[in-house]
Amino acid sequence: MINDEFFDGFEEPTETAETSVESENTENAVESEGNQQPAESEQVGETANPQETPQRRQYTPEERAQYSFRKQLNKQRNKYEGQYNQLQTQYNQLLDRLDRLEHPEKYQPLNRQQFQDDDSYIDALVQQRFDNMWAQKLEEVQNKYNEQARANEEVTAYRNRANDNVKKLFKTPESEKQYRDAVNIALQNGLGELIDQDKETAKFIMRSDFGPKIVYELATKPELVEEMFADSVTDMDRQFKIRQLEDRIRAELAPKPQVIGKPGIQQETTRGSIFDSDESVLNFLRTH
């Protein structure tokens, strides 16, 4: 389900990863290191307050650079591994075609004249059927493995993008904690399942740079959920509403223009056509 794959990216990171994807483990390495508890020798002379909330560690520029390097390195590795697997598949297919051309007798249907007796003929037929069934089973398993690997890679990409967007949209530890607490409670109460009922809406949130902010709005404003998911709202209506919500969030987060010049003197600005760029056209269509 899209909900299970995507909304995990909005939850508070835990010590145990939900998937065995190595790239995800590597990208979480810096955060795991930052969560390590100090040794007992370092706590001597300090009074621990069990009710005090631990503060999130602030990473140094070197640690952030190392995290970025590992992240990009894993992306490149996954990319080249995928290319290698594709080339290996093509190579095996070429070998199979070449073998069929050079040894066509191996692929001819069995007939009784090829064998000395009926028992040998029957044994060969059984062996051939077993080999074919086994080859088909191996191909099915390989296809499922490749499909699952692609799905895991997609989930990891979405999760990493969601976490990156969280950092961009909620820039302080306090605001990020407020976001995660609100979203986790909403997801536990069924918000994820509600969104997941409309696959297109779920995909839109997953792909939007403002996805975490959209989910936060839904998590903290019940009236917005009612407006978005009421029984009378069609899937098409919901697509318009979710885009309007994204546009509103984008406008709220956009940097405010700075006034340049002396007060009272109107500055002359150059306004181009709305058709100067695709983005202008899209914005015009969204707001008119």
pTM over 0.85: no
pLDDT digits (tens, 9 = 90+) for 217-243: 999 999 999 999 999 999 999 999 999
Tokens of 186: 């909403």
Residue boundaries of the structural domains of the chain: 2-12+57-253
- Contact predicate 71/27, CB 8 Å: yes
| 93 band by pLDDT with thresholds 50, 70 and 90 | confident
- Contact predicate 237/41, CB 8 Å: no
Q: Annotate 144-161 with b (16+ C-beta within 10 A) or e (fewer).
A: eeeeeeeebbebbebbbb
What are phi and psi for residue 103, nearest 5 degrees? Answer: -130, 65
Tokens of 283: 């914005």
C-alpha span between 219 and 182 (Å, rounded): 6
At 61 the pLDDT is: 72
> What does the mean pLDDT of the chain come to?
75
pLDDT digits (tens, 9 = 90+) for 17-52: 344 444 444 444 444 444 444 444 444 444 445 455
User: In the predicted model, what is the mean pLDDT of residues 173-198?
Assistant: 93
DSSP 202-253: HHHHHH-TTHHHHHHHHHH-HHHHHHHH-TT--HHHHHHHHHHHHHHHHHHH
